[in-house]
Amino acid sequence: MAGQMRKALTYKLVLLGDAGVGKTAIAVQFVKGQFNPFLESTIGASFMNQTVTLPDETLIKFQIWDTAGQERFHSLAPMYYRGAQAAIVVYDITNRNSFEKAKEWIKELQQQGDPNVVVAFVGNKVDMPEARKIQPSEGESYASENGLFFIETSAKTAENVSELFMKIAKQLPSIQRQKDITSGPSNPGVKPGVGAPSKGKGGCCG
């Protein structure tokens, strides 16, 4: 009975970042709770669903687009981040280039993305401290300058992975929750269409 009464909210989330930084590994760790060393390269993008429960019992359903990292797939990225309410921009703490690339993604999101998008700036692979090239302070200060939230994770050990998604879920705008109450709870799959006015032809359902 609790299941019926709960509010369920669906949000589109996109993972961006350079190739090989661990975008897919983070998503798989979050969705399946495991680290798979045999992951294949992501071509185009892959898609996953996962739900988290907030302390107030609200269900947050994430539709996760995990995008390909190679530069030439860049032109496809707007298709995935358009209308997304959350974005996770990932770099590899052992790779300086990936950090620079992550900053470019942030710039692009600020210019082209949804103005209300919640952005997480994530340094992955903290399980390899001996190879670290980017200090936490560097990521932290970039994030705070740009109004993002910062976290370091390890998809391998699961460190901070569920915290990352939980933190995003808590930051998702409450105006959308109000909207959901008015439209009724029994509407799974229908996204609250707030804050996504700039779409050409329906980037969201309903």
Partner 1 sequence: MNVRPSPPPRSARPQAPQYDDFGFLIGHHLTPTLGFDMNSGEDDYIRMWREFINYDWPLQKTATLVKMIESGVPHQFRGTVWKRLAKMGSHRKPEHYPETYFEVLSAVGDKTKASQQIELDLTRTFPNHRMFLGDNSYRSLLKRVLVAYSLHNHAVGYCQGMSNCAAVLLMFFPDAEDVFWLFVSIIDYKLDHHFEPGLRGMTDDAAIFVKLFQKTMPKLYKHLEAAGIEPLMYLTPWWLQLFTNLPLWSATLYLWDLYFLHGTTALFIGSLSILYTCQNLLLQAVGMQEIIPILLSPPLHCIEPKCLAAAAADLHVYKLVKQYRSNRSREQEATVRSEALTRLMKKDAQDMKRGRPALLPPIVTKYKTLRSVFKRDSEEERQKLERRDTHVALEEFLEKRLLHLPGLQMSRPRRTTDIV
Q: How far apart are CA 95 and CA 123, in angstroms?
A: 10
Binding mask 129-168 for partner 1 (x = CB under 8 A): ----------------------------------------
Angle between helices 161-171 and 23-32 (to 10 degrees): 80
91 φ, ψ (degrees, to nearest 5): -130, 170
Binding mask 171-200 for partner 1 (x = CB under 8 A): -----------------xxx----------
Q: How far apart are CA 54 and CA 72, in angstroms?
A: 37
Minimum CB distance to partner 1, residue 28 (Å): 13
Angle between helices 136-145 and 96-112 (to 10 degrees): 10
58-97 residues in contact with partner 1 (CB under 8 A) are 61, 63, 68, 70-73, 75-76, 79-80, 83
Q: Which residues bind partner 1 (CB under 8 A)?
A: 10, 12, 19-20, 37-47, 49, 61, 63, 68, 70-73, 75-76, 79-80, 83, 188-190, 201-206
